Structure formats: structure tokens, C-alpha cells
Structure 1
Amino acid sequence: MGTGQRPRNARALVLLCALALLTGPGLAAGTAYAAPAPPPPAASPSPPPAAPAPGAGALEQVHREIEELYRQAGSATDAYHLAEGRAKAQSDRIAELARLVVAGQERIAVLRDRAGAAARAQYRAGGLPPGARLALSDSPDQFLDGADRLRRGERATSNLLGELDRTQAELERYARDASAHWQSLEADRITREEAKKRIEEKIKAAEELENKLAAEEKARLIQLEREAQHRAQTAWLAAGALKDVTGGPTEAGTRAVRFATAQLGKPYLWGAEGPGSYDCSGLTSQAWLAAGRTIPRTSQEQLRLLPKVALKDMRPGDLIIYFDDASHVAMYVGDGAMVHAPRPGRNVTTAGAGSMPIKAIVRPDA
């Protein structure tokens, strides 16, 4: 899924607006997402009617079903990326083991050549090594020298045989490890294929539901999304979520936010990491990569591996993990707002940080 070329002045305006979130004085609670105004209905600039329009209940049910399908697809997407990452690690380890096996085989060949040379020398000497023959000499000096050489020869032979045994044992261990990694690789391949199948099924089902709607209903569906986000954000703010949130961004956090907000308007695409499109964790991981930090690829791994911080300590650049299954992630940009890649059919956008159920806040640059 590609993205259209935007006018340069529009991109500049978007970037300036995003940077204003970071550099504007005070980030006061009465501006931007800290005190959102209800979104206007699609049909007119007046507030939404008190009574629902005919068929509104059915449309809201469709909206809930579509959102749930996309959320399940997001959860399966994390499973896919996690299996993909493990498969790559297993493949890398198998390649490393193959190199070790080759090196070990070459080492065994050298050791065998040395052992063979020693055996041949002993045979030519009538079964006794030179040191043993000197040890039988009538000269005391020659005897002592021969005894020393004999001991050194015995140690060398013992060391040679010991090294040969150790190298052979290492080769056997490498073979066992490679077999185990091949089994893990196959398991991850199966997991990846099953997750991909689930993702495609959920996205297809959601798209089919949405495609059955008339143009007016699709517009109303978008409005329902905005209204639901507005209600959640309003309730989140009313509960005092931002009361103690005053932290400013770090230098790295500023770079990450700058990158993420520069992607506004680009389409969501499952599995995408840019530059033309993103999925939710593709956006956050690439934003922090641009800031000089490598973080996990998936929202579930970002939750598991990155340090968690309290809501009151949240600052721009932190990642917000959503839903109980950690199936969505966004980046906090300040003033109660976040930037994210929402779902298929939508573009990278800003929204209220409390517009979805928050599971945790994690910090890439703790």
C-alpha cells in the first residue's frame, strides 16, 4: 500500500505543528488534547443530535465488530513479528554452528596429521621414540637429557590426544545444538504462518463489513470512531490523568517524536516499517531507531523488555501500550496527545493519549 506525494508546504506545516507540541510554552492543560472539544458530526457543524438516527444502533454494532476484528489482527501481528524475529535468530545461530563445525573438522584433520606423523616417527625408530633411545644410553648426561625429552614427548602426545577428544566432543555438541535450532526454526515458521493466516482473515472480515456500508454510513462510521475516542479522552482527563504529568522530552525523545510526527498522513500497512507506510509498532520502533536507539519490533516485546514508568512520570517520546493483550502501541508527544498508526484503512495520525484503554507506559531511553 503506497502513499501519495504530499505538497512540501503541507508537510512543513504538519512538522511545525508537531514540534510545537514539544517546544510550545508550558504545554498547558487547556490546549490541544489536554482539553479536547467534541468532534463535529460529518453531516453538519452543529453538535450531534440527542436521539440516534434510524439504524444508528446497528451501525454502532458494526463499528464495534470492525474495531474488535482489527484489534485481534493487531494481536496476531505481534505474534507474527515475534516468531519472525525468533526465526531469524535461529537461522543466524544455525549458520554460526555450521561455521564452527567446519572449523572443528579442519582442526581434527590437523591433529590427526600430527598424531600420524608422531606414530610414523616412532615406527621408524624401531618402536621407541628418540627420547627413549637416549634414556637407554650409558652416558648419565645423555640419560638425563633423554628422560626429560621422553617426559616432554609423553606430555605432547597426551595433550594432542586430549585436544583431539575435546574437538570431537565439541563437534558432537554443535550437531546437537544445530538439530535443536532447526526444530525451533520449524516451530517458529509454523507459528508465523498461522499468525499470518489469522491476520489476513481478521482484516478481510473487517474490510468486508466496512465495504457493505454505503458512503453515508462509512462517513458516520468514522464519526463514531471520533466520538468514542473523544468520550474516552474526556473521561481520562476528568479523572486527573494529566494532573502531575509535567516531564519534558530528552534530546533522544525529541528526535523520536520529530520522526514519528513527520510520518503523519502515511497509510497503515500490516507489517510495514516505512518509509511509505507503517503498522503501529513499525512506527514506534523506527522512530526510536531514528533517535539512535534500537528497541523491540513488537508492542508486546516493547512492553516486556522496556522499562515501565508511572503515568505521572510520562514524557514525550515514551511509548503507550494499549489493551490487555498489548496489541497496540503509540508514542506520547506531549499535552495529552499521542501519534500512532491506527489500523488498516487509516493513516498515521494524532489522537488523545487516553482515547484507548492504557495498559502501561514504557521508556526506550530510560
Structure 2
Amino acid sequence: MGTEERSHARLRRRGGSALTLLCAMAILATPGMAYAAPSPSPSPSPSSSSTPRPDGAKSLEQVRKDIDDLYRQAGTATDAYNLAESETKAQSGKIVEIALQIVAGQERISSLKNRAGAAARAQYRSGGLPPGAQLALSNDPAQFLDGADRLRRGEKAGSELLSDLNRTQSDLEQYAKDASAVWQKLEANRIKQETSKKKIEEKIKAAEELESKLEAEEKARLIQLEQEAQYKAQTAWLSTGVLKELRGSATDSGRRAVQFATAQIGKPYVWGAEGPGSYDCSGLTSQAWLAAGKRIPRTSQEQLRLLPKVAIKDMRPGDLIIYFDDASHVAMYVGDGAMIHAPRPGRNVTIAGAGSMPIKAIVRPDA
């Protein structure tokens, strides 16, 4: 490709990204506009999605469903991986904290032993009796009273020294047990991460292999089938009149979260990614809210579990939409029936219909 051709290609790419961003901003800026996917274009062949292909393989529609299912399974495994990673970070921090406590405890024991050793040496030099005991044996009443008092104080100090030593030793033993327990959790999470990673890679590879067997025309038709399915779901959702009830306006933090998410449109989906160059679905939503000043759970399942739920009719821009029964996907509602999400491997962060997938729940980070 010559220099002039490369320049034209770059301009086309930039133009496509700019158009996507302008469309997203138009939806956010236009009140009362209900977002729906573009009407699907006529199929090149009415039966191409339902009848088996000439080689006797599954129909293209069934291939689409199989690919979607594989990517959803990869999404579930990604959630498990992200949760294990988040817990691993917390446990690593806990181990550092315990290690510092152990060092401090060892230094405390060393100091106490030095004090006990000094007392023992002083007693040896005085013939085996502490100075207070020698005074207490004196015939002088004043020295006797002073010695008895010093003896009592010495006994108390010795007892406290021994108690402190025992208590610090007990603390060290507990720290060792705590460290062992955290290490076991850390190892369990490491195994969980490896298992999830293997499953993610297997599912993505299987989906990519299915897609790679398609002819160029079939791949184009597959994308069209994908859009048709989303359009059908979004149209059915809008036909319930749901938008008539949606009157909530974004909070300041909600607007900042939406602005951040909108700015990521066009960046690729990468499982386990939290930006800035790529995201997975919950990586996008958690980072958007972090940019708005609110730290929320890392995974879609934890976002569902820990964030307050609201009814669909109360949904407002910035709220998170949890999809599917297993809560394996999450998107951010941006208003007018639209959402922004990182769809799946092979796709980029995009704007889509909020009802284009089965909604499980709505959660609110800034409730």
C-alpha cells in the first residue's frame, strides 16, 4: 500500500470513530429520543439463517447462538477470574500487614528479653538477691520500709515483664496462624485464576474457530443476524412502554461516569482489562465510576450483590444494568433507552439498546 493509500485508510478509520462518538453524544444530548438499533437490512437469502449450509453443517443462526453461548461462558469465567484477582490483591496486602506485625512482635520480644537479662545480671551481681530484698533484710526500719516497697515494685515489674513477654509470644503465634490461613486463600485464588483463565481461553478459541470456518459472505451475514437479534429484543423492550416511566435524571457523579464511558467508545474488549486502552464489561463500568469518584466492586456479579438495586422505572443515567440470569454481563445506562458496554472479545466498546439483552437487575453506584 502506497503512502497516499495509507493516508486515506487512516482518515477512514478516524472518520468511523468520530461518527460513532458523534452518534453517542447525539443520543445523550437529545431529550426524549428512544434508542433502538437500526432496522435490519433485507436478508440476501430468506432461508440462509435457518437452513443448513451446503456442507451439512449447522444453520448460520445456530452458529450465531453457539458463538454467543461460548462468549457468555467466557464472560462468566472472566467474572470468576476478576473476582479471584481482586481477592488476591487484598490478601497480598493482608500478608504484608501481618509480616509487619510479626517483625514488630519479634522486636518487642527482643527488647523484653534484654530487660529480663539485665535484671538477672543485676541480681547475680548482688549475690542472688534483688536490691530491694537486701534492704528489706536490714535492721534499719527506714531501710526496711524502703526495701519492702522496692521489692513489691520489683515483683510487679517482673510479673508485668513476664506477662508482656508471654502475650507478645502468643500474638506472634496468632500472626503465624493468620499468615498461614491467608497464604492458603492466596493459593486457592491462584488456582481459581488459572482454572478460569484456561476456561476463558478455551471458550474464546472455540468461538473463534467456529467463526473462522465461515465464508466472508457468511461472516457478514452473521453480524447482520447479531444485529437483528438485538433489534428484535430492543423493540420488544420498548414496546412495553418502559420509556414513558423513565424520568430520572443523572446526578453529577452519574454524568461524570457516563462521560468517561462515552469517551471509551471504539476501544477493544479484552477480558480482564481495566483500561486505559481496552476493557472488559465490568472493567469499563468500575473504571467509569472510579473516574466519577466512587469505587465499586470489580465484577458484574459483585456489583449485583453489593450495590443497591432499583426498579427499571426508576433507572437514571449512570445506573448499571446487569444482564442474564448468571449476571455475566454489565452495561451503563446513558438515557433514552440506550446503554454503553464492552460487548465481548472481537468487539469494541459501543452504544446499544438497553433492552437488547435479557435484563436481570438495575443497580445504583451512587444511591
2:24 maps to 18
* 8 Å Cα contact 2:85/2:193 also seen in 1: yes
Task: Decide whether aligned partners of structure 1 residues 157 and 352 sit closer, same or farther in structure 2, where only a CA change above 3 A counts.
Answer: same
Q: 1:79 aligned to 2:80? A: yes
1:156 maps to 157
Aligned-pair distance for 1:145? 2.0
The RMSD of aligned alpha carbons is: 2.1
Aligned-pair distance for 1:225? 0.9
Letter aligned with residue 79 of structure 1: A
- What is the 5 A alignment of 1:258-337? 258-337=259-338
* 8 Å Cα contact 1:19/1:258 also seen in 2: no
Cα deviation code 1:9-32 (max 9, x no counterpart): 7766655543444443xx31xx24
Letter aligned with residue 60 of structure 2: L
Aligned-pair distance for 1:142? 2.3
Q: 1:65 aligned to 2:66? A: yes
**d(CA) in 1 for partners of 2:191, 2:80:** 11
Letter aligned with residue 150 of structure 1: L
Aligned-pair distance for 1:135? 1.6
1:128 maps to 129
Task: Decide whether aligned partners of structure 1 residues 284 and 54 sit closer, same or farther in structure 2, where only a CA change above 3 A counts.
Answer: closer
Aligned-pair distance for 1:52? 2.7
Runs of 4+ in 1 over 4 A off after TM superposition: 4-17, 54-57
1:112 maps to 113
- Counterpart of 2:47 (choices 52, 63, 76) is 52
1:46 maps to none
2:233 maps to 232
Aligned-pair distance for 1:347? 1.2
Aligned-pair distance for 1:102? 1.5
Cα deviation code 1:235-274 (max 9, x no counterpart): 1112232231110001111111111111111111122212
* 8 Å Cα contact 2:48/2:60 also seen in 1: no
Q: 1:184 aligned to 2:185? A: yes
* 8 Å Cα contact 1:41/1:223 also seen in 2: no
1:100 alignment partner, SS class: helix
**d(CA) in 1 for partners of 2:25, 2:143:** 89
Aligned-pair distance for 1:336? 0.5
Segments of 5+ residues of structure 1 without an aligned counterpart are 44-48
Task: Decide whether aligned partners of structure 1 residues 236 and 64 sit closer, same or farther in structure 2, where only a CA change above 3 A counts.
Answer: same
Cα deviation code 1:309-332 (max 9, x no counterpart): 111111000110101111100000
Cα deviation code 1:282-313 (max 9, x no counterpart): 11111111111111111111111111111111
Aligned-pair distance for 1:144? 2.1
* 8 Å Cα contact 2:325/2:360 also seen in 1: yes
Structure 1 range deviating more: 213-222 or 136-145: 136-145
Cα deviation code 1:27-62 (max 9, x no counterpart): 31xx241x555232476xxxxx7x433765600000
Structure 1 range deviating more: 54-63 or 231-240: 54-63
Task: Decide whether aligned partners of structure 1 residues 89 and 70 sit closer, same or farther in structure 2, where only a CA change above 3 A counts.
Answer: same
Task: Decide whether aligned partners of structure 1 residues 158 and 183 sit closer, same or farther in structure 2, where only a CA change above 3 A counts.
Answer: same
**d(CA) in 2 for partners of 1:127, 1:53:** 103
* 8 Å Cα contact 1:22/1:249 also seen in 2: no
**d(CA) in 1 for partners of 2:218, 2:174:** 63
1:242 alignment partner, SS class: helix
Length-normalised TM-score, structure 1? 0.90
Aligned-pair distance for 1:182? 1.3
* 8 Å Cα contact 2:37/2:227 also seen in 1: no
Letter aligned with residue 18 of structure 1: A
Aligned-pair distance for 1:216? 1.0
Cα deviation code 1:186-242 (max 9, x no counterpart): 111111111111100000000000111111111111111111111111111122322
Task: Decide whether aligned partners of structure 1 residues 95 and 54 sit closer, same or farther in structure 2, where only a CA change above 3 A counts.
Answer: closer
1:110 alignment partner, SS class: helix
Aligned-pair distance for 1:140? 2.5
**d(CA) in 1 for partners of 2:106, 2:26:** 63
Task: Decide whether aligned partners of structure 1 residues 247 and 275 sit closer, same or farther in structure 2, where only a CA change above 3 A counts.
Answer: same
Task: Decide whether aligned partners of structure 1 residues 214 and 199 sit closer, same or farther in structure 2, where only a CA change above 3 A counts.
Answer: same
